[in-house]
Amino acid sequence: MKRRMLLRVVGISGYLAFVLLSFAIGFDAGKRIGNNFIIFSVEMFKVLPCAFVLIGLFEVWVRKETIERHFGERSGIRGYIWAILLAGTTVGGLYVAFPVAYSLYNKGAKLDVVFTYIGASAICRIPMTIFEASFMGVKFSAVRLFVSLPLVVASSILLGNYLTKRGYGITEGK
């Protein structure tokens, strides 16, 4: 445990020293890295607090029985459809999708439905799809969704069944 903490401290210190030195000597790539980090951090702090409040409310307000009925072992194809619909409305990308997936799993969602949710949240969020359609065209976006979503569901089923048979699951983090 001490070694892991030491590696984190050394890594963060090295990064900060690199960025500060880059600003001091005028190294443009290092300055851009520092500026990008600041921009990214500000964007994260805008989205994540609201998302985590909503996830906390989800934990408290949504009953386990509801999740088991719609996302659980006996949900059938409905579980995958609900996962895709929920993923389409997720804001904040995978930074929000992973905590939501963890919450779904803890409330009784089937592992392959959770994998479908994670995969779908990476490829079919509504704002991202609208943005893509405005640049690439509606036909391109429709073809991409109709090709990728069945592949996400199929790979989720295969991976979920494989891991379930071997007794794997999502565990509590440290």
Digit-coded pLDDT (tens) for 8-53: 999 999 999 999 999 999 999 999 999 999 999 998 888 888 888 9
> Backbone dihedral region of 91: left (phi > 0), alpha (psi from -120 to 50 degrees) or beta?
beta
- Spatial distance between the Cα atoms of 101 and 109, rounded to a whole number of angstroms: 9
In sequence order, what DSSP letters do the residues of 78-100 get, joined into one string? HHHHHHHHHHHH--STHHHHHHH
- Spatial distance between the Cα atoms of 86 and 59, rounded to a whole number of angstroms: 15
- Spatial distance between the Cα atoms of 56 and 52, rounded to a whole number of angstroms: 6
Tell me what pLDDT residue 86 has.
92
Tell me what pLDDT residue 87 has.
92
Please tell me the pTM assigned to this model: 0.79
Cβ of 16: how many Cβ atoms within 10 Å?
12
Tell me what pLDDT residue 92 has.
76
Residue 67 binned pLDDT confidence (cut-offs 50, 70, 90): very high
Residue boundaries of the structural domains of the chain? 1-48, 62-174
**Tens of pLDDT, residues 140-171:** 999 999 999 999 999 999 999 999 899 887 77
Amino acid at 165: K
